[in-house]
Amino acid sequence: MTEPTAYAFLSPEWIEAARAIRDEYADQAGDAPLEVTINVIVANPPFADEPVLGHIDTSGGGLSIDSGHLDAAELTIEVPYDVARSLFVERDPAVAMQAFLEGKIKPTGDVSRLLAIQPPTDAGSTDLAKELAARLDAITA
């Protein structure tokens, strides 16, 4: 089995590869416990002059993380690229908390919606989350 190609986190190539992985697991994803719509602005990516725009959406039942903004998101979060990478690649919540306290993470809208995004707690979902994380790690430079 050949190793997957690694790309810069959130680059167009990385997003395309991440979508392919998401599509492989689409039938295994459970329903999200609460509906939430959040737009995300990732500032200062090293591969582009413009920020990366994305969103998190559970209004369809499952978790959808994709590029572009939703028209009627409940919350918008602006975050520096290095903080986004620490949170999603290294999965270090302490970095995110510190960045939030330092004002590096800038929320606009209903901040309580952040609490609706909780990691899975049942064993099957946790195993699936670990497998997905490993697959995403493999495509991330």
For 98-114, how does the pLDDT look when each residue is reduced to its tens digit (9 = 90+)? 998 999 999 999 988 87
Average pLDDT, the chain: 87
Instruction: Give the mean pLDDT of 42-62.
Output: 92
Q: Is the pLDDT of residue 122 over 80?
A: no
As a dihedral over the C-alpha atoms of residue 77, residue 53, residue 22, residue 74, rounded to 10 degrees, the angle is: 40
The vertex-83 CA angle with 112 and 34, nearest 5°, equals 30
Q: How far is CA 41 from CA 30, 74, 78, 79, in A?
A: 26, 14, 5, 6
**What 8-state DSSP symbol labels residue 9?**
T
Q: Which H helix or E strand runs over 75? A: strand 75-80
How is the chain split into domains, by residue range? Answer: 12-138
Q: Which H helix or E strand runs over 109? A: strand 106-109
State pTM to two decimals.
Answer: 0.86
What is the fold, at CATH topology level, of the domain defined by 12-138?
Nonspecific Lipid-transfer Protein; Chain A (3.30.1050)
pLDDT at position 118 is 61
